[in-house]
Each structure stands twice: as structure tokens, then as C-alpha cells.
Homo-oligomer: A and B are copies of this chain.
């Protein structure tokens, strides 16, 4: 990212923090040993690896050996679902990884309200006596809307009690993909009431291709990858030492600055939103304003083709997204926006602006100006075309 780039797509990817790269570096060429080797130097590498897991675990109120390290959120999600033979409940606005893995099974996709929030009633209604898993993401990656996980956990707990009374022995687990939100939201597994949690280093200025699945000790899974028996047999393959150590540093840095950084991002996001809405009163801010990630702004300029805006902004070195990176790439309209039953005009005119650690006030002002210019030019072009 060159110095003059204004990057407003932190929800798609975050640059690795230089302090994270620094702690990983020794494990590339110096402490590169296979943690399964018998000599002291390798045993020390294993010890560093276990310590890093413990450090990550502590940030979510868990223990190191409850974490299964994976190559990212997608693998972690697949692992969380792998043992499930019965019915699963998830939502229409989840990440494609959750939806695709649900579709391999008997599944119900609940909707979301117009603010992108999933209602407790919809979860309750979707539960069946044979439901084995509910999976709802902590925060929606397109809208930034935060879901009421704690309350959903209570619904699930009531269902469990009902089953116990009825003698229904079908286990019911609650999984959450917290890739989006972890780092900004203080995630504690006990407080959230989840049984399994997916985290992703790549979204918190950590290394890419590093994720994990946290498991409550009572949960037993089926591995997606078998072999040497690493990660308690649930994920074979030589351990990702450098990646895990980088993840631990990223989690630590995020936790340390969380409060102040959230305030800063929230204030900058507020400015950006105000500047844009001031210029375009017809603009629609999508998602919950109350339950929203601090750096997230999902805004639509009805009637505009957002793809064109992206290319105009790109020429000014301002990088923004429409919908999620996944769907943007395929040129299809966002499945999330479609699930919210927004009008076509609003869907097609949507920009996702996500702020992060390097976003400054001047970035926000310049971005607001350039977005204003681009959107104005588009509205004018369309008027002339009529």
C-alpha cells in the first residue's frame, strides 16, 4: 500500500502489523524446527507454539488446548460442521463458507430484519427436534451489524432444557464465526454462550492463512484432515508455528488498543457518514446503526452503479468495496443485501467503507470529497442520459 493510498476496505483484508511480522520472523529461518522433532531446540519451538495458543486463548477467556489451529476461517467453519449429520440452522446473511457447508446438510436459513439483525424468534422457529447445530456470525462482514449472540445462546439453552425434559438426546451446539468483529468486539466465549468459535488472524492485522476453531471441552468433532494426529487429532499437518505466534501478537495488540481505537474509528466513521449524507440526502445507510462495528459504513446512493464508483475512486487511490469481496469478484449482487430485501436501486448503489488502523481524519475528508465528486458525476451522467 503506497503512502498516498486511502484504503477503506479493512473488512476485506488488513495489512499485517509490522510488530506481528517482527515476532514471526525468527521462526522463518532460525527457529524453523519441526515442533515434533525430539531435540531441545524443536521442543522449545513447540513450547513457543503452545504459549502462543495460550495467549490467543486468554483473549477469549479460554485455554490454549481448546484451540484447533487451521489455515483460516473457512477451514475452521468446515471443521465445526463436519461432525453434524442432522439439521443445522444458520442465516441467509452468513459468510459463503457457512452457507455452503450448511447446504451440504439438511438446513434452515433464517432471514434478517432490514437492519441486518437476526431475531431470536426466527432462530426459535427454525429449531427442530433434530437440529444439531446453530451457526450465526458475530458481526456481518458486509453491513458490520453485530448479532445478539448472548440472547441466541439463551434460546438454544432453553431448547436444550426442553429436550432434556422430553428425553430427546440430540445434542445442540452453537457455533459463531467471529472473524469479523473479533479485535473490535471484546469476545469472551463464556459470556457469548457459544460452544464453538471461529477466529481469523487475517482480519486483525495478523498473518493470512491462519485461523482457529475454539471448542468447549465437552465438544467432540470429526476431523476434516487426518494424518500425523496434530491438534488433538482434529487437524493433522505440521503446526503453523510462525503463523500462530503472529496471531497471538495480533490478538494482543488488538486487545490492548481496543477501547481507544474503537472510539477513534467510530468518530471517523461518524464524520464520513455525516459528510456523505449531508451531500446526498437520498443516501441510505444500511444495517443497524446501534449494533454496528465501529469502523464500518455501508451506504447506498440509490440509482448509482457502485461498480463504476469503485473504478473512479481507484484512479484517485481510494480503495473501497461493493458488497463482500467474494461476491464482488463474481460480479453477482451481494447475497446479504438481497436477503435484506432492499430494492435493486439500493443494492446496486451500495458501497462498503471500512476504516482501520491506518485511517486518518485527512483520509476520511479526502475520501468524502472524492466519493462526493464521483457520485455527483454519476448522477449527472445519468440525468444527461435520460
Q: What number of copies of this chain does the assembly contain? A: 2
B208→A240 contact, CB < 8 A: yes
Complex: A314 Cα to B12 Cα, angstroms = 45
Interface string of A1-25 (1 = CB under 8 A from B): 1100100010011111110010001
Q: How far is the CB of A360 from chain B (nearest CB, A)?
A: 17
Name which of A220-228, A259-267, A287-295, A342-350 contacts chain B. Answer: A220-228
Closest Cβ neighbor of A306 among chain B residues: B38
Residues of B near A241 (CB, < 8 A) are 208
B209 touches A74 (CB 8 A): no
Bound together, the chains give a CA A229 to CA B103 distance in angstroms of 14
Known: A37-B328, A237-B73. A225 touches B78 (CB 8 A): yes
CB distance from A342 to the nearest CB of B (A): 20
Tell me whether A170 is interfacial, beta carbon within 8 Å.
no
Query: When the two chains form their complex, are residues A41 and B5 in contact, meaning their CB atoms are under 8 A apart?
Result: yes
How far does the alpha carbon of A209 sit from the alpha carbon of B310 in the complex, in Å? 34
A318 to chain B, nearest CB (A): 9
Q: A1-B30, A208-B238 are in contact. List 11 more A-B contacts (CB 8 A).
A: A2-B30, A5-B41, A12-B33, A15-B29, A36-B326, A36-B329, A37-B329, A71-B71, A96-B228, A208-B243, A229-B326
- Listed A/B pairs (28) with beta-carbon separation below 8 Å: A1-B29, A1-B32, A5-B41, A9-B34, A9-B37, A12-B42, A13-B33, A13-B37, A15-B32, A21-B28, A37-B325, A37-B329, A38-B321, A38-B329, A39-B311, A40-B314, A41-B314, A72-B237, A74-B225, A74-B227, A77-B227, A95-B228, A97-B226, A97-B228, A104-B226, A209-B240, A224-B224, A229-B330
